[in-house]
Amino acid sequence: MKRPLILVTAIVCVVLVLGAGGVALANSGGGTPVATAVVARSDLQATVTASGNVRSGITSELSLHGAGGIVTRVYVEPGDEVETGDRLVAVDDTAARQQQRTAEAGLAAAQAALITAEQGRSDAERGADDAAIAAAEQSLKNAENGVDAAEATYQLVTQQQADLVEAAAQAQDDASAALAQDQAELDRLQAELAATDPADSATVSRLTTSIAEVQAQLAADTATLGAASSALAQAQRTQDSAVLEAKNALSAQRGVRDSAKKALEQQRATVAVAEQGARPGTLDAARAQVESAQVAVDQARTAVDNTILRAPFAGVVSDVTAVVGQTAAAGAGTAGGLVTLVDPAGKSIGANVSEADAVSLEVGQTVDISFPANGLTASGTVASIDPRSSVVDNVVQYQTTIAIGSGAEEARIGQTADVTITTRTATGVLVVPTSAVITADGRTWVLRMEAENQTRVEVTTGLVGTSGTEIRSGLRAGDRVVLTAGTQATPSATATGSR
């Protein structure tokens, strides 16, 4: 069995021409030439590779990809036929949409800041900045008021439910005490009857009547105690549900407040950058803010999309465990899942993925498949990840089921397949060779070639691949950076001379 490996690849076209893009040699201060590369936009992918065997039928226990939440709607029931992409389950998307609106507002602010940096500031724009900050401050104040209200509600609900439970418990205690009193009276009357001379018919009759009355009262009090016990259990369940709901509402409102606080900070930072004017680095900073804000928007939109569980392949719903009102946990490995989807006519691949790689897998991720025996290639998607692990050669692994798409009609059951699962992508981002990136003392930087000098430039990195690293800020397309700088870098801000 081939041991799965994680492989992050950068799709980069490198022209190996000296002095004209790609990797080249440059003199540094007239000394030994150093290897350099040009910063360019490209695509990066993070992938997990594994191998397995073809098997018949596809069964997938589906869970949410995102942060989970309260189930608001279940679209299917057992026996329903669904197509790829059909909606199965939806959870509350309020918080996700709030985050999306905040991210979109941040992107708009970053784009406005870039325009300002390029065109200069006017009185009207400065007035708009003041208004934007005032609006962000008001939004934060409203959010803080919302937190105060949610905290008050939480305290009120907690106290009210505690009082209701206490009252129900007292009613149960009272019923239990009445039942004990009835039993004691019954025991006394029966003892008195046993000690009475049977010839004393008047006393016997009186005691017999009293015993019957106490027995009737005992039966009534027994029923009362049962009802009181049921009422106490119901009160306790209601308490748990109501307190949890109030607690979740408080957490959500705190998230809104935190988002508003971040939005205000970002707005103030944007205005501060804009007021600096078009000084060196201002445009670069503004462009980086736009790119960072766009990433935040993309992530927020993905979070909204992930509030709906969709079918990763066409099939028949065999089981539905999702219930409106329940809290649905996220994660492809969640035991049982929310919906079980079956495609008995399809083909799948069972592949073991190592513990370290399995944490990056999600149902629905795209897969490239190749069959070494006959050279066939096909596409597919991750259908399920077994929440239970197995140990093979002292390596913890998780069985991953991959639904085979088009191109594998001739694949045979049991045939060996190599799979490459795409776990992360970054499209059209700035990329440098990883050997150009230096990390020391908690900071990340590169050596940029400027004429014959090497200048240290602090950068913010994103996705890291074996042949490239995403640069989110600090550089721009066309800059030339020194390769393998990390082994010979000096701590000075500017390094000159030969390498």
The residues facing 91 across adjacent strands are: 71
CATH class (in words) of the domain with range 36-63+338-482: mainly beta
Query: How many residues in total does the chain contain?
Result: 499
Could you count the other beta carbons within 10 Å of the beta carbon of residue 209? Answer: 11
DSSP H stretches of helix in 351-477:
355-358
Q: Is the pLDDT of residue 466 over 70?
A: no
CA distance 487 to 125: 47
pLDDT band, residue 448 (cuts 50/70/90): very high
Q: What is the pLDDT of residue 137?
A: 93
Mean pLDDT rounded to a whole number for the chain: 84
* Fold match between domain 36-63+338-482 and domain 123-276: no
Going by C-alpha positions, the residue among 115, 133, 107 that lies closest to residue 274 is 115
pLDDT band, residue 286 (cuts 50/70/90): confident
Q: What is the pLDDT of residue 169?
A: 93
Q: Is the pLDDT of residue 491 over 70?
A: no
Per-residue exposure over 186-203, b if at least 16 CB sit within 10 Å of its own CB, e if not:
beebeeebeebeeeeeee
Minimum mean pLDDT among 60-64, 319-323, 403-407, 487-491: which range? 487-491
User: Does residue 41 sit in helix, strand or coil?
Assistant: strand
**Rg from Cα positions in the chain:** 35
Q: Is the pLDDT of residue 1 over 70?
A: no
Start-to-end CA distance of the chain, whole Å, equals 45
Q: What is the pLDDT of residue 20?
A: 34
Over the stretch 132-183, which tens digit does the pLDDT of each residue have?
A: 999 999 999 999 999 999 999 999 999 999 999 999 999 999 999 999 998 9
Q: What is the pLDDT of residue 17?
A: 32
Q: Is the pLDDT of residue 274 over 80?
A: no
Q: What is the pLDDT of residue 11?
A: 39
pLDDT band, residue 23 (cuts 50/70/90): low
Q: What is the pLDDT of residue 408?
A: 75
Minimum mean pLDDT among 56-65, 132-141, 233-242, 419-428: which range? 56-65
pTM comes to 0.46
CA distance 246 to 205: 61
Residue with tokens 């149902």: 363
pLDDT band, residue 31 (cuts 50/70/90): low
Architecture of domain 64-92+307-337: Beta Barrel (2.40)
CA distance 436 to 35: 10
Q: Is the pLDDT of residue 67 over 90?
A: no
Q: What is the pLDDT of residue 487?
A: 42
Q: What is the pLDDT of residue 187?
A: 92
Q: What is the pLDDT of residue 152?
A: 94
Q: What is the pLDDT of residue 163?
A: 93
Question: Which secondary structure element, helix H or strand E, spans residue 212, and what is its range?
Answer: helix 201-275
Find out whether 341 and 82 touch, Cβ atoms under 8 Å: yes
Find out whether 449 and 481 touch, Cβ atoms under 8 Å: yes
Going by C-alpha positions, the residue among 438, 429, 435 that lies closest to residue 36 is 435
Ramachandran assignment for 10, one of left (phi > 0), alpha (psi -120 to 50 degrees), beta (any other):
beta
The residue ranking higher by pLDDT, 438 or 25, is 438
pLDDT band, residue 26 (cuts 50/70/90): low
Q: Is the pLDDT of residue 497 over 70?
A: no
CATH number for the segment(s) 123-276 = 1.10.287
Alpha-carbon separation of residue 53 from 333, 355, 361, 401 (angstroms) = 21, 19, 19, 10
Minimum mean pLDDT among 161-165, 346-350, 408-412: which range? 408-412
Going by C-alpha positions, the residue among 52, 47, 6 that lies closest to residue 402 is 52
CA distance 481 to 491: 17
Percent of the chain's residues with pLDDT above 90: 53
Q: What is the pLDDT of residue 30?
A: 52
Backbone angles phi, psi at 364, to 5 degrees: 100, -10
465 HSE (CA, 13 A, CB side): 27
**Which sequence spans correspond to the domains of the chain?**
36-63+338-482, 64-92+307-337, 123-276
Q: What is the pLDDT of residue 488?
A: 40
The residues facing 397 across adjacent strands are: 354, 390
**Sign for the pseudo-dihedral over CA of 123, 129, 130, 131:** positive
CA–chain centroid gap for 63, Å, is 12
Q: What is the pLDDT of residue 344?
A: 73
